[in-house]
Amino acid sequence: MWSSLSNGQKAILGIIAANVGVFFLWKVPRLQASMLRYFSSAARHPLPSMTLSSFSHISFLHLFVNMYVLWSFASAGVNMFGVEQFGAFYMSAATVSSFASIACIRLLKRPMSVSVGASGAIMALIGAVCVRYPNAQLSIAFVSEIFPHSFSADTTQIPVTNGISRRHIGVGWDCKRPLV
C-alpha cells in the first residue's frame, strides 16, 4: 500500500503521523514540562515552539478535525507547490500563525496563554487552494451528509478563511488553556 502512494501523499501522511505522535507524547507525565515549553506557543517560550506548537492538539477531536481537513486540502496544495515547497509553505504558515497568535494576545492585552494546533497552517492552505482553484466546489464535512450542499471557493474564500481566523483570535479555539 505504501508503495502505491505518491510522494505528496507520503509527505502528508508524515505530517499527520507527526501530529499523532506529538498528541501521544502529551500523555506521558514525565514529558509534560518539556512539551509545554517546546510544543506550545507563548511569548516567553523558545522560538522553535512557534513551529512545534502546530503539532500539538488539545483533544482527539481537535486532532481529528485538523488532520481530516489537512488530508482533504493537502493534495491540492502539493499539486500547486510540489512536495518540498508544500512542506515549506505549511511550516511557514504554522510559524507565522503562531506569531500572529502571540502578537494578538499582546496587542489585545489579554492574559498570557499558550497556543497549540495546526489550524493556522491549515487556514493558510485552504486560502491558497481557494485562490488557486476559485471554481472548486467545497462542502462542510459530515454536514453535507445531512444537508447536501456545496459552495464555490471564489465566493467564500475571504469570508470563510477570515471569519474562522478572526474566531480563532477572538475566542481562542486553539489556545487559552494549558495542556497539562
* Helix extents (H) in the chain: 7-25, 32-38, 49-52, 60-81, 83-107, 119-132, 143-146, 153-171
Q: What Rg do the C-alpha atoms of the chain give, in angstroms?
A: 17
Q: Domain span at residue 109?
A: 2-171
For the domain that residue 102 is a member of, what is the CATH number? Answer: 1.20.1540.10
Non-local CB neighbours of 9 within 8 Å, separated by 6+ positions: 75, 78
What is the model's pLDDT at position 30? Answer: 97
Q: Is residue 81 part of a domain?
A: yes
Q: Is residue 72 part of a domain?
A: yes
Instruction: Work out the burial of residue 136: count CB atoms within 10 Å of its CB; fewer than 13 is exposed, 13-18 middle, 19 or more buried.
Output: middle
Q: Is residue 179 part of a domain?
A: no
Separation of alpha carbons 152 and 164, rounded Å:
17
Q: Is residue 23 part of a domain?
A: yes
Closest to 165 (Cα-Cα) out of 105, 129, 127, 123: 123
6 three-state secondary structure: coil
Q: Is residue 176 part of a domain?
A: no
Q: How many domains does the chain have?
A: 1
**Per-residue pLDDT tens over the stretch 115-154:** 899 999 999 999 999 889 888 877 776 666 666 556 666 6
**Per-residue pLDDT tens over the stretch 34-64:** 999 999 998 888 889 999 999 999 899 999 9
Q: Is residue 50 part of a domain?
A: yes
